[in-house]
Chains A and B, each alone.
Chain A
Amino acid sequence: MEALGVELPLLLTQILNFSIVLFVLTKFLYKPILKALDERRRRIEEGLAWSEKAQLEEEKMTKRKQETLREARDEARVIVENAKKDAQRLRDDIVAAGHQEVASLKVRQQKELEAQFEKMSRELAGKTVDIAAAMVQQILPDVLTSTNQHQLVTSQLAKIAKAHEVK
């Protein structure tokens, strides 16, 4: 072994040297670096898991949103339909009421008209006689002789008297 240069003190020194290397590198190189690697791996895994969760959550949210939207749309349709029905009914009611009103108005008008007509015709009847008398008084003196006049007047008076008596 001496020919190969192996000496116990040198051998022990080299064992010690390597032990120092082993110790120092373990403490100051491997541990911190591997820890950093582990830490990063952990963080990335966490991040991936988190993003997956977020994606699921988002899908759920989207589904719920769509569901809500559909429900809202259905509801809106129902409301609109109801409103339409209500409006239709209301219109029918209003129209019916209008018709009735118009009918009753017409009836009242008719009665009023009739009453007025009667009243007017009564007045007219009264006035006709007066007008006729006036006309006769004006026209007859020119047309008739005094005899005729007298004759006519008497006969007329007789008629009137008759008519009055009949009345």
Chain B
Amino acid sequence: MGPHISLSAEKIGSLFGLPITNSLLTTWVVMAILFILTYFFTRSIQLIPGNLQQVAEMILDMLYGLFASVVGKDKIKQFFPLLASIFLFVMISNWSGLLPGVGSIKITPKSSNSSEHALVTQVAAVEQIVTTGLKPELTSDEVRGVSNTGEHKAVPLFRGPTADLNTTLALALVAVFSLQYFGFKSLGLGYLKKFINFANPIDFFLGILELISELAKVISFAFRLFGNIFAGEVLLTVIAFLMPVIAPLPFIGLELFVGVIQALVFSMLTAVFLNMATTAHGHEAAH
């Protein structure tokens, strides 16, 4: 039995007909972490800040300055909540995939419709690896994420939210939708000129290209984040399978770094696109 690698998030149960995947469960955990941190950070806001308030202020002030340098001082108030939320959510999600237990604690769902699903919690993958052998046996089906072993296969209880394409695609859709929303909000119907322009043939074709590029933004946002984080988890799984002790440490450090960078990339690109979408004659500044 080789390391468990699945391209898609595994189902661990269902709730009111909604399939619950391990990445969805972890998303809720991430949300809980964010909300608990928020609670502790803002429990007592004072003019002379306590330690926790200072930490929160430091993080937010840094993000505020960073995004303000991209979108400008007059627009930052409007965009900051979205950008900071993307950054924090993506970063915590990326890091959550690195926690011990995520990916290694496994359960065997009884059936996809059963409400009592968590029957067996198996030992960590690391232990499985130690007891079962050293050679990874990746089948192409496992890599593609196609279920090939039936319903009673043990699956990880947790999975990094951003290692699931549903999450990254959702974030990408929210980001690109807000581009259109803020574009219309600040430019009115003039925003449409970017896409549909009959002034001259060049502008017309540029408009079509812009339309395609909006679509491409969704795809690039979603797959960039998913690809990076999923690749990192695969890398860690494989390294842990080959040599469970010490060897994964540098890679975990690397993945921590990648987690921040990807969060930064996602939010900064959103900031840049927002700035372009809300500036008149945006197509002149486009790539």
Contact = CB atoms under 8 A, between A and B. Distances in A.
Interface stretch (B40-48, B113-121, B238-246, B252-260): B40-48
Interface string B27-56: 110010011001101100111010001001
A166 interface: no
Contacts of B2: none
Nearest to A9: B18
B81 A4 contact: no
Contact of A6 (B61, B146, B165): B165
Interface stretch (A29-37, A59-67, A117-125, A133-141): A29-37
Interface in B129-149: 144-146
Contact of A13 (B6, B18, B80, B144): B18
Given A19-B174, A25-B34, A5 B164 contact: yes
A68 to B, nearest CB: 41
Contacts, number: 120
B173 interface: yes
Contact of B31 (A6, A7, A17, A37): A17
Interface stretch (B83-91, B181-189, B209-217): B83-91
Contact of A14 (B84, B145, B170): B170
A3 B49 CA distance: 50
Interface string A12-44: 111101111110111011101111110110010
A18 B8 contact: no
The contact size tier of chain B is: 35 or more
Contact of A29 (B6, B41, B174): B41
Nearest to B82: A22
B166 A5 contact: yes
Contacts of A22: 81-82, 85, 174
Interface residues of A, number: 33
A26 B146 CA distance: 39
Contacts of B165: 4-6
B89 A3 contact: no
Contact of A3 (B8, B9, B39): B8
Contact of A10 (B19, B45, B171): B19
Given A29-B60, A33-B45, A33-B60, A6 B81 contact: no
Contacts of B31: 17, 20-21
7 contacts: A10-B9, A17-B28, A18-B171, A25-B85, A28-B39, A34-B60, A40-B47
Given A13-B166, A28-B35, 7 more contacts: A3-B146, A5-B9, A14-B24, A15-B170, A29-B42, A33-B42, A36-B53
